[in-house]
Amino acid sequence: IKKVYNIAWMKKKRLITPLMQYWHLSPYAMINELYPNRFKEWEFSVVPRNFWTKKTGLQALKWTIEEKEQLTEQELLQVYNIQWLSKNRLLTPLQKFWGNPYTMLNDLYPNRFKEWELQKVSPGFWTKERGLEALRWTIEEKEQLSDEQLLRVYDIEWMKKHRISMPVYEYWSNNPFLMLHELYPERFPREIMKTYNSLRNWLNSFIKTREFTEALELVWNYGFETKESFVFAHEKSEEVIQFVYWIKGAGYAQSHFNEKENKTEWYCTLSKCHPFVLKIKELGWKASKKPLIVKYS
């Protein structure tokens, strides 16, 4: 009935006289008296001239979301677009007052949603600055991830899931780790971020080897962290050289003289965000409490 019910239909059914006499030519007033509160005026194919105001548009959108469709926030983000608004007869107020589906939604629920959370964004929406802000918001506010938690999940698929992958293609040569470096240059150094995918692939192969078990035994007893780095230190140069040979991305073997213990020690360093370091922490390794006599860098 909502598709056909209008003045033309009333004329065809010879109901125009009572409509004029008792309901002032308002089809909605007549049907609302017959079926009180069953229908909303905007559900019909035709509404009176000047029916739509900004307030009525927001009221209609709120009713459609919360009462008619009863959508959760996630369901709303999945379906909300210009086609959904058209299907629910909300296209006219959209075009008249907002021109943009997100602007209308944000007017109804101020700051509840970000535009990039919707299925589609406006043409030209993504800039480099907006991409970085979307990534920062997703990490710090939406997901609230520590650096280690982030690096365990962060890749292009994670970005697609959060609808923030487009700027990676546009501005960072499809490398999400370079984007991460630009957002947090001190926390995620460019030298390791630019090859992070290859380091992950290397680790996935390395953990299946006997050498991985041997490397674990070494770092479990001789690994520790400084403020800047993970350090593997040993009094035998061959152990450190072997570790450097095994671990892709490890710094070269170096030595220093430990005056307190009157001996030479050898060491190498890894970035604290190196996949190998994250893996050993995942397996239960905890940083040594060993006091440092010299600065390892």
The ranges assigned to domains in the chain are: 7-117, 128-191, 200-282
Print the SS3 string covering the chain: CCCCCCHHHHHHCCCHHHHHHHHCCCHHHHHHHHCCCCCCHHHCCCCCCCCCCHHHHHHHHHHHHHHHCCCCHHHHHHHCCHHHHHHCCCHHHHHHHHCCHHHHHHHHCCCCCCHHHCCCCCCCCCCHHHHHHHHHHHHHHHCCCCHHHHHHHCCHHHHHHCCCCHHHHHHCCCCHHHHHHHHCCCCCCHHHHCCHHHHHHHHHHHCCCHHHHHHHHHHHHHEEECCCEEEEEECCHHHHHHHHHHCCCCCCCEEEEECCCCEEEEEEEEECCCHHHHHHHHCCCCCCCCCCCCCCC
pLDDT surpassing 80 at residue 255:
yes
pLDDT (tens digit, 9 = 90+) per residue, 207-244? 999 999 999 999 998 999 988 899 999 989 999 999 99
CB count in 10 Å sphere of residue 228: 13
- More confident site: 46 or 219: 219
What is the pTM for the complete model shown?
0.78
User: What percent of the chain shows pLDDT beyond 70?
Assistant: 88
Average pLDDT over every residue of 253-273: 89
Q: What is the pLDDT of residue 291?
A: 43
pLDDT surpassing 60 at residue 18:
yes
Nearest to 165 by CA among 154, 150, 181, 149: 154
pLDDT surpassing 90 at residue 185:
yes
pLDDT surpassing 90 at residue 10:
no
Q: What is the pLDDT of residue 33?
A: 64
pLDDT surpassing 70 at residue 28:
no
Average pLDDT over every residue of 55-84: 95
pLDDT surpassing 80 at residue 183:
yes
Q: What is the pLDDT of residue 43?
A: 74
pLDDT surpassing 50 at residue 204:
yes
Average pLDDT over every residue of 40-65: 86
Confidence of residue 32 (pLDDT cuts 50, 70, 90): low
User: What percent of the chain shows pLDDT beyond 90?
Assistant: 70
Q: What CATH number labels 200-282?
A: 3.10.28
Average pLDDT over every residue of 40-62: 84
pLDDT (tens digit, 9 = 90+) per residue, 135-164? 999 999 999 999 999 999 999 999 999 999
Nearest to 5 by CA among 23, 22, 21, 28: 28
Q: What is the pLDDT of residue 96?
A: 94
pLDDT (tens digit, 9 = 90+) per residue, 89-141? 999 999 999 999 999 999 999 999 999 999 989 889 999 999 999 999 999 99
